[in-house]
A and B are shown apart, each in its own frame.
Chain A
């Protein structure tokens, strides 16, 4: 029994040490490198590391050098067995508002070890609210617009289902 206790304790300490000592900023830089290969760049005004998270404030999103959106706050959180990315107040550039909804109040992407090949998505904003998932195995994205409003510009790429409007794509 004593041995089990010790093992659990060592495992707990190891897990905590891995998460807390994780070089979160450097991992974020690696993510920036990966995004750069798709010509996407993120400029942030402020970065701050927490024990389990990395917080970015005043993020500007550039695609091919074009300023396409700003995000007030991005929060990366991980416990290894559960991770999430939370975006608050994403505002698309004025010139693109006829193509995509201009404001996303909040968007959350969650990954859990219980379904390792699945990322769940939740978002709300000027388009209403949506839930969905990203299947990492099938490489597909499925989004259900539960409450849809002001999505005229998106309708050409949406499908109508019994529950409402659905967006599906693969990558």
Chain B
């Protein structure tokens, strides 16, 4: 059983590494490098160019055009009805934007799977991740204006890179923290109290930390919507649109979190010893490893 689990884990790591492989030229033999790049490219192509992603992109393109057109209209005529329709479009845009890859869904999902958490915690982390995502964008745009006198600058991109480094370190730290707790739990508790040794008794601030690690890197679309409104002199309307967009993103994150959480609950409720073993022993390890892997990959590519 353990060998089978180890084999699956190794396979998973191989696929993950192949998909994101970006080896330095000197570190691989040309043939090996080519093989890894080809595998990575094939996996990447398969995931990027499929009907779902293409349709999602086209839908966002239409929403983007529509929202820009209506913002310009709002500049001309300050109509509450127009503002309401804009808020609705921004909300829908936020939903579809966060459905696509990114925005911390894999981090949240890993955390949910590896932790014995209540539904409230799961909802909390999803909502706050979306809120931080929008807040960080608004703070950076506002801060850039205060410091440089304009709403965007090339230097803000460098700032984003530093924030990504910070977020990656935070994700690695969360993963390591989970692993350390598991190891300490194994050494300090006997095998019968293994369930208690799993991260059930984590400090309440932990979900906030996970949400912060996701949201600290601003969503570029949020920044762009805000900048567009600000350049047209629509300050409070821009802030409202960002909030509406963030609520939309929050809906998507909550939906994904609920799906993962309910699936886990459904599996956990099955009174099978093997399921209990997987949930209490394997999933926490996998979740911790996954977070360390995601964080390390991001950090490696940034440094």
Q: Real complex partners, A and B? A: no
